[in-house]
Structure 1
């Protein structure tokens, strides 16, 4: 078991745009969907994702805020990718000031009126435990 710091893992995660967000569906099953962090990658144990209010992820989080995130970077012929599993709690943010803080121009493709788009919500996932694998190295960080 390795003992990298959160800062070490954050450097490895900086180039990863897409995470798989897992929530608990109404029927108790696990629901998964890809989410983009939109370049908001200064990872300190919190991740941010924009969605629409009517999305299943939002109703799942309202019912049960325990979520998981999965990240993986590309592994090449001469490089090892990293795989990161995050367990945490999600919070739904409906504050335009927070929207502005995490907004990037790439989001304009999905939300026509920017932070003023009706029905948008910011999903914040605060990590409680992070497990990672890089080649034969494996480790865990409890936050």
Structure 2
């Protein structure tokens, strides 16, 4: 009988998807790298971006490692919903609920850490500059 668990690029299965040793965000989640934590649940963590682009710039990451938002949506849509819910909670607390939630997917789109993360951006009137 074939293995019914979802498989990830590089051969990882969901049971092995908890952490990647050289991933910066996995190390933050594990408490091995310091971060300014804002909020968290048993499945998701929010911390301030070290290079903020707005008065509110918080990264929201699942505790389990997933390379990007498309991979996360494919294998655990409930966890993606948890990421969005915590992003909203952070924005309610810190920006009166007005915010932008951005997921960069791929190096060409600006993703520099390949552990899915949503950027919660707000705290001022935002313009639109996609490039």
For the aligned pair, the TM-score class normalised by the smaller chain equals 0.3 to 0.5
Q: Would you tell me which structure has more helix in proportion to its own residues?
A: 2
Provide the TM-score with structure 1 as the length reference: 0.34
Greater relative contact order, per chain length (Cα 8 Å cut-off, separation 6+):
1
